[in-house]
Structure 1
Amino acid sequence: MSITAINVRNQFRGKVKEIIEGPVVSEIDVETPAGLIVTSVITTRSVKELQLVPGKEVIALVKSTEVSIATL
């Protein structure tokens, strides 16, 4: 399956900045060229299968059923 076949409109190219690995799930920080940090929580098994390491180029695919906004 190609990335274009996935129904996700919000795609951010970037590089893995940091991985906080847990026994079951891990936190992945992806830094975009603009300096935006996108954080994902995925299974640690997926981290290994995708061979994620800091510096690796990736695409963060963001799909959400709800986005909340509050004023400051």
Structure 2
Amino acid sequence: MNLSARNQLKGTIVGIDKGPVSAKVKIDIGGGVTVTSSITTESVDELGLAAGDSVVAIIKSSDVMIGK
């Protein structure tokens, strides 16, 4: 898959918290760092995501916010 987004983090799913509408997918990207993505439950099911799967977290830089 080729994408224009340059912020791509390879990792392994370590947990999925599914709700009725959305799900939180936790991805271990190494070095003790975990990234959490909030996606629809439908997307989790359509992609067949499960703990242990190798995935890529793709981050669109214009949507990254930092607060302090």
TM-score, reference length from structure 2: 0.86
Alpha-carbon distance in 2 for matches of 1:41, 1:69: 18
- How far 1:48 moved relative to its partner? 0.6
Partner SS for 1:16: strand
The runs of 5 or more residues in structure 2 that have no matched partner are: none
- How far 1:69 moved relative to its partner? 5.0
Match of 1:56 in 2: 53
Count of aligned residue pairs for this structure pair: 67
Give identity over the alignment, percent: 37
Which residue, 60, 63, 67 being the options, matches 2:65? 67
Counterpart of 1:27 in structure 2: which amino acid? K
Counterpart of 2:55 in structure 1: which amino acid? V
Give the superposed CA RMSD: 1.4
Is 1:36 matched up with 2:13? no
Which residue, 14, 19, 24 being the options, matches 2:16? 19
Is 1:45 matched up with 2:39? no
Rg: which structure is higher? Answer: 1
